[in-house]
Amino acid sequence: MAETKAVKGLIVDLDGAVWRKSTRSGPWTDNCVEVAFVGGAIAVRDSKDTGGAALIFTQAEWDAFVLGAKDGEFDLG
């Protein structure tokens, strides 16, 4: 069954997506995510629940998130 979604004006087909696991994911933490770049969109999912929902971001949204993370915008301390 194809997993195609229309989100934010993008047609996103998650079948065949190549998911990359975060280097910060591992057995010592329960904060595990995977990212896939598909058809001009970026999909993020919980690596412990690969059949669950994926969050879909536009390239501009992803770029803003990455820039914010690099700038420490989301640091907890």
Q: What is the pLDDT of residue 5?
A: 59
Q: What is the pLDDT of residue 1?
A: 44
Q: Is residue 66 part of a domain?
A: yes
Tokens of 4: 């195609």
Q: Is residue 36 part of a domain?
A: yes
DSSP H stretches of helix in 1-77: 59-70
Q: Is residue 38 part of a domain?
A: yes
Q: What is the pLDDT of residue 3?
A: 63
Q: What is the pLDDT of residue 41?
A: 92
39 within 8 A of 10, measured Cβ to Cβ = yes
| Environment class of 60 (CB within 10 Å of its CB; exposed 0-12, middle 13-18, buried 19+) | exposed
| Environment class of 19 (CB within 10 Å of its CB; exposed 0-12, middle 13-18, buried 19+) | middle
* Range of the structural domain that residue 61 is part of: 4-23+31-70
Length of the chain: 77
Q: Is residue 77 part of a domain?
A: no
Specify the number of domains making up the chain: 1
Q: What is the pLDDT of residues 31-74, one digit of tens each?
A: 788 999 998 899 999 988 888 889 999 999 999 999 999 999 98
pTM of the model: 0.78
